């Protein structure tokens, strides 16, 4: 099962941590393939107090629905399973540790699913820390700090909107591909039927005009 992030961050120096764990905000977009009758779980490390947002959207496959659940680091289900086309979960004050994001396709015995998974982790305290450092420099940055505050309030909403837009775009594209394959398949089938029918008709018409001649003896 994929694991995103590093455990035991208190033992890892700040300079040695991956860039996505020290940034004030991180957004990750994945397209995952879930086999029929299976469940896959993905793990994302979230620092304590961060805002976690997770959304999933079934792009193609079967009835277009799947199960979606989120477990916190204690193993508690904070977003219970529901069989649906899309769903999301937000935790405004997440506990520190690994969150499990699980996609269940066990109810679909024959059809696999292509799912778009979107995860964001926002550390608002990092924005405040950055603003405080600017203020400590005794620099008149009122406009700048106001801009930072506005970005802080709207950043998560923007990520959510982008996730929904990507989901809709991916699902529409998959629908176009499916329709194109459907039209192409039935067009070829109809052409073959027409060719076969025409060949049969020509064969029987020729049989009607096929007159066999032979020599015969006349009797007196």
pLDDT tens column, 96-145 = 888 999 999 888 888 888 998 988 888 877 767 766 766 666 555 566 66
pLDDT at position 13 over 60: no
Answer yes or no: is 105 within a domain. Answer: yes
The structural domain count of the chain equals 1
Answer yes or no: is 217 within a domain. Answer: no
- For the record, the structure tokens of 127 come out as 């924005």
Q: State if pTM tops 0.85.
A: no
pLDDT score at 220 = 42
Answer yes or no: is 158 within a domain. Answer: yes
Answer yes or no: is 39 within a domain. Answer: yes
| Mean pLDDT, residues 193-210 | 82
- Please check whether residue 31 is in contact with residue 62, taking contact to mean a CB–CB distance below 8 angstroms: no
Answer yes or no: is 87 within a domain. Answer: yes
- Please check whether residue 13 is in contact with residue 55, taking contact to mean a CB–CB distance below 8 angstroms: no
- In angstroms, the CA 47 to CA 98 distance is 9
pLDDT score at 101 = 92
pLDDT tens per residue across span 149-160: 666 667 666 676
| Mean pLDDT, residues 9-28 | 63
pLDDT score at 102 = 92
Answer yes or no: is 212 within a domain. Answer: no
- For the chain, percent of residues with pLDDT exceeding 90: 5
Q: Does residue 147 sit in helix, strand or coil?
A: helix
* Average model confidence (pLDDT) across the chain: 77
- Please check whether residue 56 is in contact with residue 116, taking contact to mean a CB–CB distance below 8 angstroms: yes
- For the chain, percent of residues with pLDDT exceeding 70: 71
What residues make up the domain containing 96?
3-174
pLDDT score at 146 = 66
Answer yes or no: is 94 within a domain. Answer: yes
- In angstroms, the CA 105 to CA 34 distance is 7
The CATH code of the domain that includes 147 is 2.60.120.680
């Amino acid at each position: 099962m994929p694991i995103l992030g590093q455990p035991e961050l208190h033992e890892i120096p700040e300079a040695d941590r991956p860039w996505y764990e020290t940034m004030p905000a991180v957004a990750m977009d994945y397209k995952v393939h879930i086999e029929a009758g299976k469940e896959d779980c993905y793990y994302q490390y979230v620092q304590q107090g961060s805002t976690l947002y997770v959304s999933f959207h079934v792009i193609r496959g079967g009835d277009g629905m799947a199960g979606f659940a989120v477990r916190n680091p204690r193993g508690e289900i904070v977003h219970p399973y529901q069989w649906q086309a899309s769903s999301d979960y937000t935790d405004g004050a997440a506990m520190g540790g690994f969150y499990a994001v699980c996609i269940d396709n066990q109810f679909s015995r024959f059809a696999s699913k292509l799912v778009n998974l979107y995860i964001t982790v926002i550390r608002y305290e990092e924005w405040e820390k950055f603003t405080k450092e600017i203020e400590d420099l005794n620099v008149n940055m009122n406009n700048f700090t106001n801009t930072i505050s506005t970005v802080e309030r709207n950043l998560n909403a923007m990520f959510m909107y982008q996730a929904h837009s990507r989901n809709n775009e991916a699902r529409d594209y998959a629908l176009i591909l499916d329709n194109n394959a459907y039209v192409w398949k039935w067009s070829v089938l109809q052409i073959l039927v027409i060719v076969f029918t025409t060949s049969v008709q020509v064969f029987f018409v020729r049989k009607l005009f096929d007159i066999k001649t032979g020599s015969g003896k006349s009797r007196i």
